[in-house]
Structure 1
Amino acid sequence: MAVESRAVRYFVAVAEERSFTRAAKRLGIAGPALSRAIRTLETELGVRLLERSTRVVELTEPGEVLLTHARPALEALDAAARRAVRASAPQRGLVLAVKADSDGGLLDALLAAVAADPDTGPVAVRLCGWREHTRLLRTGEADAALMFEPYDPGGIDADVVAVEPRVAALPADHPLAGAGRVRLADLGIAPADVLDRVEHDIGEHGVHDLAQLLALVGLGQAITVLPQSVAAQYPRRAVSYVPVEDCPPAALVIAWPEHSRSRGVAALVRAAAAVARSHGIGAASDDLSAPGVGSGRHLSR
């Protein structure tokens, strides 16, 4: 059964807005035209997707199923279109998504390593925010991403290229600030919370980024745990960084869209692993989260 992507986009807009009026405004079309398109889609599928009332629109069970699968399908379609356009561009290079303070200290060396590689070509850096890397990969706006775990793995392949210790960020006058090392229990942090700790702390304290969170740490209003290389980007007189002896290491990954067969991305993955090894933080075999780590698996060679 074939349905038009436009009708599915209309349905997703209504489902997300829970209103035909708001969805029509978002889509830039007339309300009656939107209603007709949804009715036609329901007729083609032979199911009722929406329960309509004067106040709100609710999804039926078939509607919930369609919404769940339609979002990634439309995202993949948009990504394919973007990649096709980018592939036709003269002197096309790769786009690498990176958060400015979360490259493991490898970005400059990585760019230098791939600059002369004919398989890679030019690499443009796309700076991004928290958890934005994988969205850029799925939408076709980036070819690869360098980021710390955790990340949303949907539609993504990745290799761990580096592992490094984590440190606690403590107020400089904290009783443990002068300690040679601390344990998670000393900080009141559960091991299961470590991966999401910074994002959790940013949300809990109502700040917008790591710099603001560390300002609170310096004021004695927070503590957090960071990868060692990230902490090195934020020296603060009022903040003391102390190794955490029982903290899981931070894993830096290089990721790419799961269906990519790009020789350039494969070369970039190999270069990232080599640069990490040269910095002494390359992923050892017992640090790997999946077979083939460091190899650029599934990519063309």
Structure 2
Amino acid sequence: MRTIPLKLKQLQILTRRTPLDETEEKEKEKLTRGWQGELGFDKLLDTAVRGKEIYHLKDYRFKIDSGTETLKVASGMSEVQIDNVLIAGDRVYTFEVKNFGFDLIYGTKSWFFESGREYKDLSMQVNRQRTSLDFLIRNGGFNYDITSHLVFVNPSQTIYNMPNLENLLVPTNTHRRLAKICQPNRYDHGNIADYLNSRRLLKSMYDLPANVEFDELRTGVFCYQCDSVAELVRVNSYKYCCHSCTKEFTTFEIVSILIDELKTINEAWEISPARISAFSGGAVSSSTVRRYKRDRRLLF
């Protein structure tokens, strides 16, 4: 299962609760594009592997000793994140998904913008993923061939001078190549799948609290089904409604959303009925929250 990146979720919340500067707006746009690209490719992979003896790990994150294989003295633990890992056809495949909104020119060492300005070496990230995963797998006593792919999912993007390499996927060749890759395993690979899951990081070292104080935040209750920043309208004591998309929320759903927002912004913040009520701007009373907690509908 793929979960929304913490930083993107924080920025989505803060969009409604505090002004974002230009840098933060650009970061939110970049993260949103990447998230949407990953979800889009997930649908293609899910279809390709459905009903087959294939292991699929989404948003796989792990740690290794950086430099262990090449340096005389290791430089500490390094975190690696891979968008998708497949064990199919008795091989291991990785996929790094890119949802760029601009065109690129392919280069063997570096990629370039249309203007000729150098972008960066996209293969470096993919190669690091492959070598890091290979080290992790070998460290667990397994030996697998790993093929890594760079996937461009935006159908409006053009990549000039792109060679016909098997590990470069674009919208026009993705379905055909996934059909070739997603072959059922002939042997049981449950042991390595279990091993990889045992090494999965549940929390990234880069997942940090938002740099904001509680008193700086705009209070109120908002809709997250649409882009509206207007507060929900109270229909009655049990229901709220978004005037933009007409989505309705129960009071209990509102309280659950408020708790999730607080934990997302800063998991170290104390969660109490009084704070939840204050965060709602008085839309939900502290007595209502206490009643939900007393009835064990809420755990905090």
TM superposition score normalised by structure 2? 0.20
Structure possessing the higher relative contact order (Cα contacts under 8 Å, 6 or more residues apart): 1
TM superposition score normalised by structure 1? 0.20
Give the number of the structure whose residues are more often helix, by fraction.
1
